[in-house]
């Protein structure tokens, strides 16, 4: 199936980044949010990114105009009826995802793909509530989605090999490098990244080193673009907690048990950059 029109559900940090990526790669793109202020915020973020790219001469004014024309916001899921491919990037809550997958399965044409950007939840369970489990897989982007070159394609036991092949081609058309992972919690990146982030929080809890020194150590000692606390704030402490919980739930490996400080910061609304407070203040 040739993909012409892409739907993105959710215009938060990841959803807006994914919609931006699709629209600037030439796809007619529609992005849906649950209320007008959230939709406006997401669309403004995308328009702002294109303005920045134009100021840096990475886009011509004509390209910015074309990108704007390809991107549309909506509050109504029914507007997705003629999409060839839908990527969901809503909150990491299985009940929400199942409600959404059921609704999308009912309204999309039979050949359309439904992909989840989940970083930790079971994609098999999402596919199982539809009549098209063969057309469902994970397509996991990394923050910031327009910049990070990787996507993980997550193949469930029901995903058809043909779907994997077509989604691989779609990912390449977005300028991404796809890697293939089985549907086990954490896939590839978070299975390796979460224990590292958790270990940094434990070091801080135990007073082994300061926040700034841990960040500096990993930046300058290992050449990472960000230290673990800067990255935690960037990814979101809530997202990190959900990912840790999901992997811990699946494997019961203490390496993934969320540290008390992480849970308490999330409970206090300190979710990182997006809330203005995390390990750093913004
Ligand atoms: N659209 C287009 N371009 C964008 C952009 C956007 N939305 N956001 C940033 N950019 C561009 C900038 O304009 C800049 O372009 P130039 O190099 O041409 O100037 C470039 O990206 C780099 O941005 P900055 O100059 O602002 O900052 P930087 O050089 O410090 O890089 C970074 C920022 C790319 C985020 C870098 O610090 C980095 O790679 N950090 C690590 C991020 C990471 O590990 N992400 C994965 C997290 S894990 C995850 O997401 C998965 C999960 O499930 C938890």
User: For the segment 201-237, what is each residue's pLDDT rounded down to a tens digit?
Assistant: 999 999 999 999 999 999 999 999 999 999 999 999 9
Residue 1 has pLDDT above 70, yes or no: no
Q: Ligand 1, atom 9: nearest CA belongs to which residue?
A: 147
Length reported for the chain: 282
**Is the CB of 103 within 6 Å of ligand 1?**
no
Percent residues over pLDDT 90 in the chain: 99
Mean pLDDT of the chain: 97
Q: What is the pTM of this model?
A: 0.95
- The answer, yes or no, to whether the previous bond of 144 is cis (omega within 30 of 0) is yes
User: Measured in whole angstroms, how far is the alpha carbon of residue 27 from the centre of its chain?
Assistant: 18
Inform me whether the pLDDT recorded for 197 exceeds 70.
Answer: yes
Q: Is the CB of 271 under 6 A from ligand 1?
A: no
Rg, Å, the chain Cα set = 19
Nearest 5°: the CA angle 220, 223, 227 is 70
Closest residue CA from atom 11 of ligand 1:
147
CA 95, CA 81: separation in Å to the nearest integer? 22
Predicted local distance difference test score (pLDDT) of residue 120: 85
Q: Which own/partner contact pairs does 76-79 have at CB distance under 8 Å and 24+ positions apart?
A: 76/32, 77/9, 77/32, 77/103, 77/104, 77/107, 78/107, 79/7, 79/30, 79/32
Residue 135 CA to ligand 1 centre (angstroms)? 31
Please indicate whether residue 53, judged by its CB atom, sits closer than 6 Å to ligand 1. yes
Residue 239's nearest CA partner among 99, 126, 91, 124 is 91
Distance in Å, CA 17 to ligand 1 centroid: 11
Pocket test for ligand 1, best of 225, 234, 238 (most atoms within 8 A of CB): 225
Q: Ligand 1 centre from 225 Cα, in Å? A: 9
Dump strand ranges (E) for 143-271.
150-155, 177-182
Q: Which of 144, 197, 247 to mutate to test the pocket of ligand 1 (most atoms within 8 A of CB)?
A: 144
Is the CB of 203 within 6 Å of ligand 1? Answer: no
How far, in Å, CA of 261 to CA of 202, rounded? Answer: 8
CB 21 within 8 A of CB 145: yes
Q: Is the distance from CB of 22 to CB of 29 less than 8 angstroms?
A: yes
The percent of residues above 70 in pLDDT, for the chain, comes to 100
pLDDT, mean of residues 243-267: 97
Cβ of residue 146 lying under 6 Å from some atom of ligand 1: yes
148: Cβ below 6 Å to ligand 1? Answer: yes
The DSSP letter of residue 266 is H
Residues near 185 by Cβ (< 8 Å), separated by ≥ 6?
120, 122, 191, 246, 247, 249, 250, 251
The pLDDT-based confidence of 191 (bands split at 50, 70, 90) is very high
Which residues form the catalytic set?
A: 119, 140, 152, 190
Q: pLDDT digits over 30-67, tens only?
A: 999 999 999 999 999 999 999 999 999 999 999 999 99
> What torsion, rounded to 10 degrees, do the Cα atoms 205, 208, 214, 217 define?
-160
Identify each DSSP E strand in 96-203 by its residue range.
Answer: 113-116, 136-141, 150-155, 177-182
pLDDT in tens, 138-154: 999 999 999 999 999 99
């Amino acid at each position: 199936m040739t993909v012409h029109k892409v739907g993105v559900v959710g215009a938060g940090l990841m959803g807006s980044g994914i919609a931006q990526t699709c629209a600037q790669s030439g796809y007619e793109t529609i992005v849906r949010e649950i209320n007008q202020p959230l939709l406006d915020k997401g669309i403004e973020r995308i328009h702002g990114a294109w303005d920045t790219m134009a100021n840096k001469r990475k886009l011509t004014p004509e390209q910015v105009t074309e990108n704007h024309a390809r991107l549309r916001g909506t509050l109504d899921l029914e507007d997705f009826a003629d999409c060839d491919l839908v990527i969901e990037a809503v909150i990491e809550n299985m009940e929400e995802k199942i409600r959404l997958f059921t609704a999308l399965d009912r309204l999309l044409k039979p050949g359309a793909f439904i992909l989840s950007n989940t970083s930790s939840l079971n994609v098999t369970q999402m596919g199982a509530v539809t009549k098209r489990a063969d057309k469902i897989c994970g397509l996991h982007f990394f923050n910031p989605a327009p910049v990070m070159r990787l996507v993980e394609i997550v193949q469930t036991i029901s995903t058809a090999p043909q779907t994997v092949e077509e989604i691989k081609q779609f990912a390449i058309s977005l300028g991404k490098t796809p890697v293939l992972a089985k549907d086990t919690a954490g896939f590839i990146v978070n299975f390796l990244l979460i224990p590292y982030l958790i270990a940094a929080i434990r070091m801080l809890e135990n007073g082994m080193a300061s926040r700034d020194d841990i960040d500096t150590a990993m930046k300058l000692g290992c050449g990472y673009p960000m230290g673990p606390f800067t990255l935690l704030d960037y990814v979101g402490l809530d997202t990190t907690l959900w990912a840790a919980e999901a992997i811990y739930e699946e494997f019961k490996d203490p390496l993934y048990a969320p540290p008390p400080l992480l849970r308490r910061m999330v409970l206090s609304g300190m979710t990182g950059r997006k809330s203005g407070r995390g390990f750093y203040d913004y």
